[in-house]
A and B are shown apart, each in its own frame.
Chain A
């Protein structure tokens, strides 16, 4: 079952109202996308993005 960290997690809920959401989301997404692009799965099963 989900731990407390993931249970409350979605960027909108965890970001302080004064934070820039797009900066925080991009900082999280860009490394994930870069890691995905290195995998065989990406070249075989994904559209290129």
Chain B
């Protein structure tokens, strides 16, 4: 059994996502945060429970499901922010409209045009990054 932090446990094509980590437009904090996301290392409530830091892994916002990385992008409470991001991305790269939220937020897609690619990577990385970075 693979460790739970293995990237390909959560991302179908991890090489695609990881290749974007070296993008020159990312600041160190945003790059670090993407690395943690891709490796399932964000301190979600599911991870806290697994590490015995917390006893309850249910989402604090919707209380409908365990709060893992996938849930964060699909949680009803996140939808205003997620939908704002999708509208921005639809304007920049309409070819990504068919991708689901999880593929977009884990940068698990391909874009040929480099300007579009940089724009989408920057937007996703900064939306996911901690406040003030």
Instruction: Tell me the chain B residues, 93-128 only, with Cβ under 8 Å from chain A.
Output: 93, 114-116, 118-119, 122-123, 126-128
Chain A residues contacting B114 (CB-CB under 8 Å) are 45
Please, how many angstroms separate the alpha-carbon atoms of A20 and B78 in the complex? 10
Q: Provide the B31-60 mask, 1 if CB < 8 A to any CB of A, else 0.
A: 011001100001110000000000000001
Q: Is B25 an interface residue (CB 8 A)?
A: yes
Q: Is B61 an interface residue (CB 8 A)?
A: yes
Q: Provide the A28-40 mask, 1 if CB < 8 A to any CB of B, else 0.
A: 1100100010000
Which chain A residue shows the least CB distance to B44? A13
Contact between chains at B119 and A9 (CB < 8 Å): no
**Given A17-B77, A36-B122, A47-B115, A9 and B33 contact (CB-CB distance below 8 Å):** yes
Provide the main secondary structure of the chain B interface. helix
Q: How many residues of A contact B (CB 8 A)?
A: 28
Please, how many angstroms separate the alpha-carbon atoms of A17 and B43 in the complex? 17
Chain A residues contacting B119 (CB-CB under 8 Å) are 46-47, 49
| Residue positions of B touching A, CB distance < 8 A | 25, 29, 32-33, 36-37, 42-44, 60-61, 67, 72, 75, 77-78, 80-81, 84, 88, 91-93, 114-116, 118-119, 122-123, 126-133
| Residue positions of A touching B, CB distance < 8 A | 2, 5-15, 17, 20-22, 24-26, 28-29, 32, 36, 41, 45-47, 49
